[in-house]
Amino acid sequence: MSLATISFFSQLLGAFISGAIGIFAGFGIFWFKRRQDGKDAFLLVTADQKAKLAVTNKGKLDEFYQLSIPIMSQAVYRALQFLNNNQRRALVAVWNEYQSQGKNLFGSREEFVNVAIESMVEGNLGTPWKRLEDFFEKFDECIQTRKPNPISNKN
């Protein structure tokens, strides 16, 4: 084998290795960016819901909650594909808890008023408004941390 042939094959092998590294690096960056964009989209939805909650009349919390269910449902199921297993499990757990809170948050109008009065007297922020606010914080924790603990007792 001549020196020119060896040089040609070494250049060819170098080009092949460089191309392979470029392809894998490009795919890795694409995958990371795609996952981050999916998480960011979810965080935008929760930020929007928090902003709406902040300006919601306290007497219309039940209506806010009912309207938030389909919005959050879409956001949760869109975000699941971008999360690791721990984040996915945590988000599903918080989502299931959020869905089951309707009756616990509001119950009857009389119950709502009693909870609000007790909260003001005791200085406890366990009102339905605060509970909803805490849920949106839990949703954010699921996305932003590597090993979330979303079922912490903030209520």
Return the percentage of the chain with pLDDT > 90, whole number: 18
Beta-carbon contacts of residue 129 (< 8 Å; ≥ 6 apart): 53, 56, 58, 61
Instruction: Tell the residue number behind the tokens 């879409």, with chain if given.
Output: 74
Domain coordinates in residue numbering, the chain: 35-144
Q: What average pLDDT does the chain have?
A: 78
What is the per-residue pLDDT across 69-99, written as a single tens digit (0 to 9) for each? 999 999 999 888 888 889 899 999 999 988 8
pLDDT above 70 (res 145): no
Report residue 11 as tokens: 């250049």
More confident residue, 37 or 151: 37
pLDDT digits (tens, 9 = 90+) for 37-62: 888 888 899 999 999 988 887 678 77
Sign of CA dihedral 112, 50, 74, 151: negative
Classify burial at 13, counting beta carbons within 10 Å of its beta carbon; exposed 0-12, middle 13-18, buried 19 or more: exposed
Which pLDDT band, with edges at 50, 70 and 90, does 112 fall under?
A: low
